[in-house]
Every structure is written in C-alpha cells, then in structure tokens.
Structure 1
Amino acid sequence: MAIAATLKDIAKSVGVSLATVSRVLNYDRTLSVSESTRKQIFEVAEELNYTKLKHRTATPSKQLKIAIVQWYSKTKELDDLYYMSIRLGLEKRCEERRILATRTFQNDLQAIDPDVDAIIAIGKFSDAQVEAMSQLTPNLVFVDQDQLCHGYDSVVTDFRFAVTQVLDFYAKHGHQEVGLLYGSEWTTDGQLEVVDPRYKAFRREMEARGTYNPKLVFGGDYTNHSGYQEMQTAIAQLGDDLPSAFFITNDPMAAGALKALHENNIDVPQRVSLFSFNDTTIAKYVFPELSSVHVNTELLGATAVDLVENRLQTGRTTPQLVTVGTELKLRESTKG
C-alpha cells in the first residue's frame, strides 16, 4: 500500500487531517493534539501493517483467560511503538482463538483477574516482579526477555545476527567506522538495569573486526528526544571525524538523530547513512525513510499466545525459548 494512501486511510479512520497524521507520526511535539488522538493515530497506523485474519480456529470448550502485562505506561508505549506492536499482534491472536485477553500497564498486578489462566508479560521485569506474577499463575510467558533459566517460556528476537547483518551491509558499502546510538533503561521497580542487547552485539562484533571505537558510541534512553540529543553531542564532539554511518537501536531514536543531522545541514545518506532497528511505522514516515531491521512484532505476540495454548492443552512443563529472526529493510537513509 502506498504511503500517501495509508496516510489518507489513517486520517479518515481517526477523523483528522492528513497533515495532522503526518506530524504526529513524525513526533512533532509542537502540534497541539490530545493524547487520545495521538494514541489512536499510532494504533490505526500499526493496525494497517497487519494482514487481516483469514481463518479462525474452533472455539475451545472453555474460554481461556490471559492477562497481558505491559511494562510500559500507556503514554510511554506511544514513544516506542515496538511494544505496542507486540501487544496488538498478541491481541489479534487472542481474538482469532477466541481467548479473552485483558491488559494492564506498568505491572499493575492488582488489576489482574485472580482466575486468569496465564500471564503474558511484554518487556523487562526484575526477579521480584517475576516472582509476584508467578504467585498469580504458574503459566507465564515473557516476550522480549529471556526467562528460560527461571523456568518460563520466552519469545525473543535474534539481536546478534541482526546487528551482524547491518555491519556486514555497511562494510560491503565501504563504511569501516560505524557509530552507535543505543539505549538503556530500568525495570519499573528500579531493581534491574537493562542494557541494550544490540549494544552488546555491536561491541562484540566490532571488536572481532578490530574496528570498535568507544568514541563513536553514545548512550541514551530509547526516546526520540534522546536520539536527537545524542546525535547533537556526536556532531559537536566529533566534528569532521563524524563517521559516515550510524547504527541506531530503535526507530524513535533514529528519527531524533535524523532531525539533528538535518538541523546541522548534514546530508543523509550522502554524508551519513543511518540504519535503525525494529522497523515500526515511523521508519516509513520520516524523511528520508529509514533503513531498519524489521522485527516481526506480530509474530512475537502470536507466538506467545501459541505457547500458552500448548502448555495448557498438553500439560507441558518444560520451558521453551523461541527466537524470531529478522530481516533488513533498505530504504533511503542508506546508500547501496
């Protein structure tokens, strides 16, 4: 579907102008629009990325009840569409399977039905938070965090191979020095700092190639503003030594970095190429469009539901770790 047509579809569905949709998807904070409208625009945009369900399975004799625990707040979820996309994929699979799904944000476990059959937890959680959820049900599935060592089903992305693919692409096109903008954050109880696995993979791979340069690495917090600030810092500190390519570990940060480059009259991709990660909706709505590692968020969410069904239907107690692969989506922010 063409981007212009998609924008029109979003505008029509939400009941706002085409310009409003475009500005919201580009994180234009100067636009006066309500949070509810902003949320609706992002949700409709993500919905349009999913294939409509063609088949429905038979309704089970007992309707399963699943609680979705999202570690982000409703507002923060809009700042990083990755987790919202996973949730939407999960909810679609539940709808397909006639499973009753309820959601709670920021680990509000008090809101969970005590008779729930399983919990699917999206995001990052400390040991204490995992223990609290296990008191409600032994049937836990984690999406985007490997909890296999604690005995729980987990669905994760293959970060290491994806980062290697990006660096191989850059090397093939003559970019030997590559900068990195990455994020870090804490679980909502402040007990666990979550270091970006893409940073770990990037450093390991670049050190193996003998090209790792810590002066080209900048840490933020995954937000659009953080990407903008860190790129401004990189431009100021590195000057003419600014590398010809950057890998940025999520789309909001990449969009912010792109804005900083524009403001400093640094051409993308002629002077600096950008490669992002997650390939959420915003990657296609900035200019130039962002090359990004595509993560099949719909599949991540759907797989979590499948694991719940398998565990409940078969009585399986052995935990499973499912790793979902990625693919590179090349767009205008990179040369090649």
Structure 2
Amino acid sequence: MTTIKDVANEAGVSISTVSRILNFDDTLSVGEDTRRRVLEVAEKLQYKKRNKRASKLGKQIVIVQWHTDKEELSDLYYLQIQYGIENKAASLGATIERVTYESIDKNRIKNFDGIIAVGKFDTTEVTQLKSYGLPVICIGENYLGYNLDCIRSDFETPVRKIIDRFIRNGIDDIGMIAGKELIVTEKQGVRDPRVATFNQYLKSKGLYNDKFVYQGPFGPESGFNLMTKAINELGARLPHGFVIGSDSMAVGVLRALQQHHIDVPNRVSLISFNDVAIAKYTSPALTTVHVHTELMGERAIEMLLERVKNPKKIPELIIIGTELMERESSI
C-alpha cells in the first residue's frame, strides 16, 4: 500500500503537509499548485505501473471534462477516471489532451480522432459534442438516447448492500449525506441513483425517514456543513448509520463528528463511495465502495477504438460493478 511518506517523497513536500492536504485541512496555507500536486500524486500512486511496452497507435484523443480543475480537486472521482483513460492510452501509444467543455477550441478539436466525455452533460452539450463529427464515448451517465456509447458505475446495488449490512449489524436508523450536482449549460439538477435507491429501498423496508437525508454540493466543506446541520437538528436522534455520497464529503463529515465528540464507528458508522486515495488516510480510515475507475477508463478507450473502426456499430451501455472496501469507519 502507498504510504503518506511515498506521496511526500514523490510530491516533494513534508509528510505533515501531505497529511493535512489529504484531509482537506482548510487552515493549511499552501498554494493551489502544491495542493494539486499532492492530490494528483496520491491518486496516481494508486495505479499499478504497466510494464508492457507501449505500441504506437498514433491516435489523438481529447478528454472533455465537465468540471473545472478546481472542482475536480474537491471530489477527485472524475480525476481518477481520467487517470484510467490516460494509463490505457499510454499503453497503446495514443496521445491524450484534457479540456473542459467550455474551453473547447471548435476548430482544433476536429484534428482529434475521438472524444471521451467525462461527467454529466445536458442535451445542448451532447448535441454540441456530436456536431464535431467525431466518435464520442461518454463516462458517467446513460446516453444511449443520444445514440452514443457510454459507461457508468453500478451505484444502485452497493446502496442496497450497505443498507442490508447496517441492518444486520443492528442499525435500522440510517441517514444519508448526498451530493447534488447541476449540469453546466442548462443548470438542470442531476438525478443521483444512490439517493433514489436509498429512498426506495428504505421505504420498501418501512425504515425511511426524510429528516435523515441531507444533500448539498460534493466536497469536504459541504460534508462538514451537512453533518453539522444534522447533528444540530437531530440531537440524540442522529442516525447510527450514514451512507455518504463520496469520500471527500466523508472527510468533512468525519471532521464534524469529531468536533462534536461523536465516536466513529461506535456511535455513528459511515460508509462512503469511490475509494479515492484520501479514504485510506483519514482517521478512522473510510469504509467505502470502490468504483473501478481505471477499468472505466480502459473500456472507454477500447470502445472508442471500436467505434473508429465501425462507425455504424450499435451503441452500447456498459455498467461496471463495484466492491466494498472494509476499513475502520463502520462496524
């Protein structure tokens, strides 16, 4: 397992600085470049180095990301997916360039062989991406309705498994701290399958309480604010189990619980999503759902190459499974 010392050596900073950055310590005064370098090194060191000699595919692929760089660093999930894409591309000798949707050069993009769109895009944005006349592969949502190949994670199954796990361990008061996202151009809310499954599954068991569900932006600050609100509003009725929308939100949730001297996992058990690098370095370490972002990136490259060879191929939706990483934040 990669250690904080490994990250510190690679990033060229102290172990203390790495620890505080990985825990999103907002009292730490470091430049944005340093913060980005540490977070990126921590993520990259999770990937196994490939020993295969790269072939010379010669393809040029553009990754269109829906988040800004700053937004990516507050959540890291989409950054993980991009590393999966880049690793696979490097093993094939393909060239990758990253841009945001808003920074696309409409003239230059036509020089690429294909587009991998990472994130959530609305009708206006998908229509624009298709207008460039290049193969487009989407990661994050189901875009079969737009006649596009797409890949997403199975978030529904793990939510049901987490709830079942809590119940087996005697926890039937279960809450959720969930993320809420807006599509950039049309400002529409994005449906989160984790929230929908959580609500439906608990209702089917007669255990749902809407006062136990809190939503806000993804990120540690939001997680801190939402859990603080839950603690203040619910008091002794604070649920004993929480599903958290992402690891970065869970970092803030942990900080709020610790500030209120609420024991994790004995009083409140937490299970989050994504298994980004920070999940291993929190105290306690996070029990989290591992999303196979590297596999998502690999399959995106493979689907793009298949689409280049056969433009008339029937579009496919690939759903990638997940697995629970048991650590210290849950009983």
By the TM > 0.5 criterion, same fold?
A: yes
Q: Number of residues paired by the alignment?
A: 330
- Residue in structure 1 matched with residue 5 of structure 2 by the alignment: 8
Match of 1:130 among 120, 123, 126: 126
How far apart are the structure 1 equivalents of 2:273 and 2:168? Answer: 19
| 1:68-217 equivalences in 2 (<5 Å) | 68-110=63-105, 112-217=108-213
How far apart are the structure 2 equivalents of 1:316 and 1:166? Answer: 40
Pairing 1:31–2:33 present:
no
Q: Secondary structure at the match of 1:54?
A: coil
Pairing 1:232–2:223 present:
no
Contact 1:69 1:107 in 2 (8 A): no
**Letter aligned with residue 56 of structure 2:** T
Contact 2:110 2:134 in 1 (8 A): no
Contact 1:244 1:273 in 2 (8 A): yes
Residue 136 of structure 1: CA displacement? 1.1
How far apart are the structure 2 equivalents of 1:15 and 1:307? Answer: 37
**Letter aligned with residue 16 of structure 1:** V
Contact 1:73 1:106 in 2 (8 A): no
How far apart are the structure 2 equivalents of 1:228 and 1:203? Answer: 22
Contact 1:70 1:107 in 2 (8 A): no
Q: Secondary structure at the match of 1:114?
A: helix
**Letter aligned with residue 43 of structure 1:** E
Contact 1:106 1:188 in 2 (8 A): no
- Residue in structure 2 matched with residue 48 of structure 1 by the alignment: 45
Residue 59 of structure 1: CA displacement? 2.4
Pairing 1:262–2:285 present:
no
How far apart are the structure 1 equivalents of 2:90 and 2:54? Answer: 10
Q: Secondary structure at the match of 2:72?
A: helix
**Letter aligned with residue 308 of structure 1:** L
Contact 1:177 1:211 in 2 (8 A): yes
Runs of 4+ with >3 A deviation: none
Residue 118 of structure 1: CA displacement? 0.9
How far apart are the structure 1 equivalents of 2:325 and 2:177? Answer: 19
TM-score after normalising by structure 1: 0.95
Residue 56 of structure 1: CA displacement? 4.0
Q: Secondary structure at the match of 2:295?
A: helix
- 1:103-130 CA-to-partner distances (Å, cap 9, x unmatched) read 1024422265322111100001110001
Q: Secondary structure at the match of 2:201?
A: helix
TM-score after normalising by structure 2: 0.96
Contact 2:85 2:294 in 1 (8 A): yes
Q: Secondary structure at the match of 1:110?
A: coil
**Letter aligned with residue 287 of structure 1:** S
**Letter aligned with residue 284 of structure 2:** P
Contact 2:171 2:240 in 1 (8 A): yes
| 1:253-332 equivalences in 2 (<5 Å) | 253-332=249-328
How far apart are the structure 2 equivalents of 1:28 and 1:105? Answer: 27
Distance 1:148 1:262, change over 3 A: same
Q: Secondary structure at the match of 1:270?
A: coil
**Letter aligned with residue 84 of structure 1:** L
Residue 19 of structure 1: CA displacement? 0.3
- Residue in structure 2 matched with residue 244 of structure 1 by the alignment: 240
Unpaired runs of 5+ in structure 1?
Answer: none
**Letter aligned with residue 32 of structure 1:** S
